[in-house]
Amino acid sequence: MQHLTDQTFALLKRAAALSTELGHNYLGVEHVLLAVLNRDETGNARALKAAGVQFDVFVSRLRDEIVCYPRIPEPPDGADLPVTPRLRAALETGTADRPLDSAALLERLAHDSRSLFARLTVGMGGDPAEIAHRLAGSVGAAASSSGSNLMSTMSIAMYGQHMLDNLVEELRGQGYELRVDSAIVGWLLIHELDGQTLNQIFDEDLRPRLEAAMQAYPPGSVFALSLAGSRVDLLIVKGKPED
């Protein structure tokens, strides 16, 4: 049995809602982290900066990891979302005498070196325990906050990844192998936020470049596309060898 404070329970409800919005339909460490970050962008940016970590870079790396997570069917009506083992282990540390509050939950996740939270912060040179402490301080203070645009950008990235997956399948049916650099998600996001829709980006930019390159190179050759003038090759296509 899990013993949680009302604040922790509310945080988990927000995390579950975000998981459903992203099509994940399970409750994990990453969704708890999203629920915290989505409450107050300004306050959380200050908290991470004080801990020596850039908020925008942290969010970008979080987004790049989460967009690759699989989408699973929703559970039956009335059923709870399944909880990942790592998050469940943290939640079960609460007791009747000392219910688990949001700060303690974040600290538990920070001390699990295999959790997404710990891996992201360590990878950026930060101290997970310090960042957990600073973020926990903003959870209650953000009760009246209007939130941030984190989920809107996350949803755009998820939709862009879905379109890329469909493109990979489409080319596979034509005998091509498409390798996609993860940086393309950021490229799509920048263009979407600049006023273009993802459909416009695909139909008016990405597809014409791809089709022109496929016509220029014979089957069996390998070619790359540097999108938006970037020196980074975001798409690499290998044609089916000729018989």
Q: What is the pLDDT of residues 182-191, one digit of tens each?
A: 677 777 777 6
Does 156 share its domain with 127?
no
H/E stretch holding 225: strand 222-225
Query: Chain-centre distance of CA 92, in angstroms?
Result: 25
- Last residue in a domain, options 81, 114, 141: 141
pLDDT per residue as tens digits for the range 187-208? 777 766 666 777 787 888 788 8
Which whole number is the average pLDDT over 52-78?
A: 80
Q: What is the DSSP pairing of strand 222-225 with strand 235-238?
A: antiparallel
Does 110 share its domain with 179?
no
H/E stretch holding 48: helix 41-50
Q: What is the pLDDT of residue 123?
A: 87
Which whole number is the average pLDDT over 216-231?
A: 66
Does 126 share its domain with 163?
no
Mean pLDDT of the chain: 78
Q: What is the pLDDT of residue 152?
A: 67
Q: Which residue from 3, 10, 159 is spatially nearest to 71, judged by alpha carbons?
A: 159
Give a yes or no: residue 29 inside a domain: yes
Higher pLDDT pick, 35 / 143 = 35
pLDDT-based confidence at residue 242 (cuts at 50, 70, 90)? very low
Q: Which residue from 140, 139, 147 is spatially nearest to 32, judged by alpha carbons?
A: 139
Q: What is the pLDDT of residue 1?
A: 47
Residue 38 in contact with residue 150, Cβ under 8 Å? yes
Q: Which residue from 98, 78, 64 is spatially nearest to 188, judged by alpha carbons?
A: 64
Give a yes or no: residue 1 inside a domain: no
Write the Ramachandran bin of 23: left for phi over 0, alpha for psi from -120 to 50, otherwise beta. Answer: left
Beta bridge partners of 224: 236
Does 32 share its domain with 130?
yes
**How many domains does one find in the chain?**
2
Amino acid at 147: G
Does 121 share its domain with 194?
no
Does 107 share its domain with 180?
no
- Whether the per-residue pLDDT at 230 is higher than 60: the answer is no
Does 25 share its domain with 136?
yes
Listing DSSP states for 173-217 in one string gives HTT-EEEE-THHHHHHHHHHHTT--HHHHIIIIIHHHHHHHHHHS
Q: What is the pLDDT of residue 64?
A: 76
Does 228 share its domain with 204?
yes
Query: Which CATH number fits the domain that encloses residue 61?
Result: 1.10.1780.10
Does 170 share its domain with 126?
no
- Residues 6+ positions from 62 with CB-CB distance below 8 Å: 30, 33, 34, 37, 116, 120
Expressed as residue numbers, the domain containing 195 is: 150-238
Does 98 share its domain with 157?
no
In Å, how far are 83, 108, 113 from 86, measured between CA atoms? 8, 10, 11
Q: What is the pLDDT of residue 240?
A: 57
Give a yes or no: residue 60 inside a domain: yes
Task: Work out the percent of the chain whose per-residue pLDDT is above 90.
Answer: 0
